[in-house]
Structure 1
Amino acid sequence: MNLLGPRLTLKPFAEDMISQRYLDWLSDPDVNFYSRRLGQRKQSREDAIEWLARIADGTTVLAIFAPEFGHIGNIKFGPIDSVNQSSDIAIMIGERKSWNRGYGAEAISLVTRHLFDTGSVSRVEAGSANPAFIKLVHGLGWKIDRIEPKRVLIGDQLLDWTYLSLEKIDAPSAEKTDCIPYD
Structure 2
Amino acid sequence: MQSSRLLLRAVESSDLNSTYLSWLNDPRVNQFLETRFFPQSMGTLQSYWQAHHDNSEVPWFAICLSADGRHIGNIKLGPIHWLHRRADISLFIGDHGCWGNGFASEAIALLRDWAFQELDLQKLNAGVYEGNIGSRRAFEKCGFELEGTLREEVVNHGNRLDIWCLGLPRSRWSPSR
- After TM superposition, is the score higher than 0.5? yes
1:134 maps to what in 2?
136
Q: Which moved more, 1:18-27 or 1:55-64?
A: 55-64
| Equivalent residues of 2:7, 2:69 under 8 A apart | no
Q: Which moved more, 1:4-13 or 1:115-124?
A: 115-124
State the distance in 2 between where 1:7 and 1:139 align: 17
Q: 1:4 to 1:54 in 2, by over 3 A?
A: same
1:27 maps to what in 2?
25
Unpaired runs of 5+ residues, structure 2, are none
Q: Alignment partner of 1:62: what SS?
A: strand
Q: Alignment partner of 2:19: what SS?
A: helix
2:64 maps to what in 1?
65
Q: How many residues align?
A: 172
Q: Percent of aligned positions with the same letter in both sequences?
A: 26
Q: Alignment partner of 1:109: what SS?
A: helix
Unpaired runs of 5+ residues, structure 1, are 178-183
1:109 maps to what in 2?
109
Task: Spell out the pairing of 1:21-100 with structure 2 (5 A cutoff).
Answer: 21-41=19-39, 43-55=40-52, 56-66=55-65, 67=67, 70-100=70-100
| Equivalent residues of 1:80, 1:120 under 8 A apart | no
Residues 104-138 of structure 1, C-alpha deviations (whole Å, 9 max, x = no match): 00000000000111143011111120222112211
What is the CA distance between 1:96 and its match in structure 2?
0.4
State the distance in 2 between where 1:58 and 1:161 align: 23
Q: 1:79 to 1:109 in 2, by over 3 A?
A: same
1:6 maps to what in 2?
4
State the distance in 1 between where 2:153 and 2:118 align: 34
| Equivalent residues of 1:116, 1:168 under 8 A apart | yes
State the distance in 1 between where 2:134 and 2:69 align: 21
Residues 15-53 of structure 1, C-alpha deviations (whole Å, 9 max, x = no match): 111111010001000000111122421x22221110112
Scaled by the length of structure 2, the TM-score of the pair is: 0.91
From 170, 173, 176, the equivalent of 1:168 is 170
What is the CA distance between 1:148 and its match in structure 2?
1.3
Scaled by the length of structure 1, the TM-score of the pair is: 0.88
